[in-house]
Each structure stands twice: as C-alpha cells, then as structure tokens.
C-alpha cells in the first residue's frame, strides 16, 4: 500500500463535528480514509457514509476501514451529488458533514497520475480516472488566450500571458517535467522564492480538469438539505478561490437563517502540526451548524361578516 495520506486538523475536525456514537455522518471527500477512521471509531450504532470520486483512493479507504464495515458505507461519486446519494441510501438527516478539499498524498505521490512536477509523469491530473478531459488536452490544444485566462483565473498567476505564450510555442508538451521546465523558463525569478515557479500553473490545470470550483458550488448549494437541525458542517480548504466560495456560501446561508456560523475566523493548523505535516500549512477550517427550519406561519382568516 502506498504511503497513507496524513489527515489535517484532525482534533479540530472532530471537535467541531461533535461526534455522537449513534449519529449519522457524511465524509464527502473520504479519500484514503484519514478523517473517516477517526469518526468511525467513535461510532457505536451510528453510520458514516464516505464519498469520493477517486476509485483508487476508495480501495485504500475500504481496507483502512474494514474494522468498521458495519458502520461505514463507501460511495464512488462526486461530492456535488451529496443530496442525491443521501436520498438514495435513505439516510436520516445527517448530524455532521465533512469535506476536505485538498489533494491526497496518493494522488500527489503517484507519478502516473500527473498531479506533481516533482517527477516526470503524463499530463493527466484527473481525480476520477474515468473522466475524459486531461491536462494534456488543455496544455496542447487550448488557444493561447484561453490558456492565459485559465491560469489567471484559477491559478491567480500574474505571468499568465507569458506562460501561455511559452506553452504554445513549446508544443507538444510531453509530460509534467517538460511543462514545469517551460513554465519556469517563462517566469522571472525575483530572489529566493518559496514556491516552485510551476505551482500556480499546475494548480490551475488541476482545478480546470476536475471542474473543482463548479463541483464545490453545487456541493455548497445541496448540502444544507442533508443536514439535521443542529447538524454540523465542517469544510477544509487550501487556496483562496475555494475558501472564498465556502466563506460566501456560509455567510449567505447565515443571513437566510439556514446556518449559524461557528467559526467567525478560519481555524488554522498549529506550528507543530505544520512541522510534522508541511502540507497542512495552507489549510483553513470553517464550521457551521444547521438551524431549525422556520415555523410555517398560519395566515389569519378574518371571519366572514355573515357568520
């Protein structure tokens, strides 16, 4: 088995979810099961549903969770279908929903998946290997203008135009190493940099290939219907675009009296956790609670004058 993904902010996630042994919980991005194991071991008669679009990750999660198979159901699907999945399984309203929006170690450290520029690999980047669009299609066939727009919008890359121009000139781009070299050559180095020059380009491509922001928007819209009154909703995000969508959705639902915000400011990992797991450094946790539905007001009917 490949190295297991180290879950982020585990203690905080469990605290905000407020696990009850008899409760119903949904891990909407179960991955290889890091958070799910901690939730499942706290259940007795309760139930945990784990959802993930990556079938390979689910295989690992299934093995990792085999001691809790009576409590756990794993579903191969996208988290944007959470309401449909809950309805299909005839789940009671959930006492907690968790979504960890990060990329797993399994994906990052599998060169054949093409998520990382650390070693040569195919330009793939699909979280669900059954999907059709790959990073190779975008890199080698999109127009320079569309490519630049993508890098600027999803990667917040200031050098988007220069990078897009360099990519188009270097076509065909063979693999991840080739792409990283082309991007690095197009960006001007300004002293010592914390990030690899290709980091934002790879992020933008991954978001586009997997339609991550579109899927997140649907998840944010559909999840409240799956939550019980008092049910907790915890989301871990890792970059500004997705955190902004989460923050705005939570604030809107709070204004509509659907949610109560539990975290006024984002919760971040401690320095100790970041030292132990450097990939936790950009994590941001937000939590909210489902409010009871508003009572339906009865319209008062004036008595008819002839009664």
The pLDDT of residue 192: 61
For residue 302, name the pLDDT band (cuts at 50, 70, 90): very low
At 158-205, the pLDDT tens digits run 999 999 999 999 999 999 999 999 999 998 766 566 789 999 999 999
Check pLDDT > 50 for residue 235.
Answer: yes
pLDDT mean across residues, the chain: 93
The set of residues, in sequence order, having a beta carbon less than 8 Å from that of 208 and lying 6+ positions away, is 138, 150, 154
At 123-163, the pLDDT tens digits run 999 999 889 999 999 999 999 999 999 999 999 999 999 99
pTM (2 d.p.): 0.92
Does residue 121 contact residue 165 with C-beta atoms inside 8 Å? no
Check pLDDT > 50 for residue 301.
Answer: no
10-105+213-290 CATH, one of 3.30.70.1450, 3.10.105.10, 3.50.50.60, 3.40.50.150? 3.40.50.150
At 30-57, the pLDDT tens digits run 999 999 999 999 999 999 999 999 999 9
The domain defined by 130-209 folds into DNA polymerase; domain 1 (1.10.150)
Whole-number Cα distances in Å, 135 to 36, 141, 203, 215: 30, 10, 11, 18
**Which residue ranges make up each domain of the chain?**
10-105+213-290, 130-209
């Amino acid at each position: 088995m490949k190295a297991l993904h180290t879950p982020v902010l585990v203690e905080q996630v469990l605290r905000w979810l407020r696990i009850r042994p008899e409760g119903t919980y949904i891990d909407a991005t179960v991955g290889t099961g890091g958070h799910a194991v901690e939730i499942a071991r706290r259940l007795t008669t309760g139930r945990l549903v784990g959802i993930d679009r990556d079938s390979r990750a689910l295989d690992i999660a299934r093995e990792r969770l085999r001691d809790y198979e009576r409590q756990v159901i794993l579903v191969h699907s996208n988290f944007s279908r959470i309401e449909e999945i809950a309805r299909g399984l005839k789940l009671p309203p959930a006492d907690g929903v968790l979504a960890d929006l990060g990329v797993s170690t399994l994906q990052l450290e599998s060169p054949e998946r093409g998520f990382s520029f650390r070693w040569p690999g195919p330009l793939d980047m699909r979280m669900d290997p059954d999907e059709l669009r790959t990073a190779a299609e975008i890199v080698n066939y999109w127009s320079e203008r569309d490519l630049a727009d993508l890098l600027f919008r999803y990667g917040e890359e200031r050098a988007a135009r220069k990078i897009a121009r360099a990519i188009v000139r270097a076509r065909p781009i063979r693999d991840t190493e080739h792409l990283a070299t082309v991007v690095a050559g197009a960006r001007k180095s300004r002293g010592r940099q914390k990030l690899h020059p290709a980091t934002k380009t790879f992020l933008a491509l991954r978001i586009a290939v997997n339609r991550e922001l579109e899927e997140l928007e649907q998840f944010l819209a559909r999840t409240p219907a799956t939550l019980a009154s008092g049910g907790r909703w915890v989301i871990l995000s890792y970059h500004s675009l997705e955190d902004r969508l989460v923050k705005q959705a939570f604030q809107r639902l709070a204004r509509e009296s659907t949610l109560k915000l539990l975290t006024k400011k984002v919760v971040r990992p401690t320095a100790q956790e970041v030292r132990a797991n450097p990939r936790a450094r950009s994590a941001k946790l937000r939590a909210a609670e489902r409010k009871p539905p508003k009572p339906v007001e009865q319209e008062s009917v004036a008595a008819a004058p002839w009664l």
